[in-house]
Structure 1
Amino acid sequence: MSDIKRFETGPRMSQAVVHGGVAYLAGQVGTAGASVADQTKDILASIDRLLESVGSDKSKILQTTIWLASMDDFAEMNAVWDAWVSPGNAPARATGEAKLATPDYKVEIICIAAV
């Protein structure tokens, strides 16, 4: 059985867990109160950083789940996402609307990637 490696672990959660050649990232949020575009940019920078720390990168993302506080923000979030996603390596993706941890968060993104 493969070892389980946890990254940036706190009392409640780890920001990333790697097992069996797969990295599971915790839901990432941006700067509370910022615009949807700015929160998305912050989140994608966090994802890049976390993936690098586990020995992966955005071209290896297998699946992404995106939560928006309002689907009215879908186009604004997608404009940032589309400029960031690795060309030819778009992951399987789902996007939905959900009440997030605080009303100041407008976007949360969860990723699973190969290492």
Structure 2
Amino acid sequence: MSDIQRIQSTDRMSRIVKHNGTVYLCGQTAGEADWDIGRQTAECLKKVENLLADAGSSSDRILSVTIYIRDMKDFAAMNAVWDEWVKDLPKPARACVEARMARPEILVEMTVVAAESP
């Protein structure tokens, strides 16, 4: 059985967990009060890229993404940013659900599962 590696841990959680060649990222948000869904989506994706690099992976190794969106009225605007970001990448499995967020300024949150780079 492989060891579980926890990276960037706090008393509450780890931002990255690695096990058996798989990387799990905690939920990524970018909830500035004056940012629209497009800006928040772009900032979340930057955070995902940075965490994957810290974990020894990359965006082309993403297996699945779950996107939580505060209001489905923002679905098309979020997808416009997502589609541009993912256009040259292998397409991961993806789910998108409407969800109540921890703070009202958060419009989108993403959790990611990826494979480590070989």
- Following TM superposition, by how much is the alpha carbon of 1:88 offset from its aligned partner in structure 2, in angstroms? 4.8
Question: Given that residues 25 and 111 in structure 1 are in contact (C-alpha distance below 8 angstroms), is that contact kept between their aligned partners in structure 2?
Answer: yes
Q: Which blocks of at least 5 consecutive residues in structure 2 are unaligned?
A: none
**1:32 alignment partner, SS class:** coil
After TM superposition, list the pairs within 5 Å mapping 1:1-115 onto structure 2. Answer: 1-33=1-33, 34-85=35-86, 87-115=88-116
Runs of 5+ in structure 1 lacking a partner?
none
- Asked if structure 2 preserves the Cα contact closer than 8 Å seen for 1:31 and 1:42, the reply is no
In 2, the alpha carbon distance for the partners of 1:94 and 1:31 equals: 20
Letter in 2 for 1:75: A
Q: TM-score, normalised by structure 2?
A: 0.93
Which aligned segments of 4 or more residues in structure 1 are displaced greater than 6 angstroms? none
Task: Please give the root-mean-square deviation of Cα atoms over the aligned residues, in Å.
Answer: 1.0
Equivalent residues of 2:59, 2:89 under 8 A apart: no
Is contact 2:67–2:110 with CA below 8 Å preserved after alignment?
Answer: yes
Q: Percent identity?
A: 43
Aligned length, in residue pairs: 115
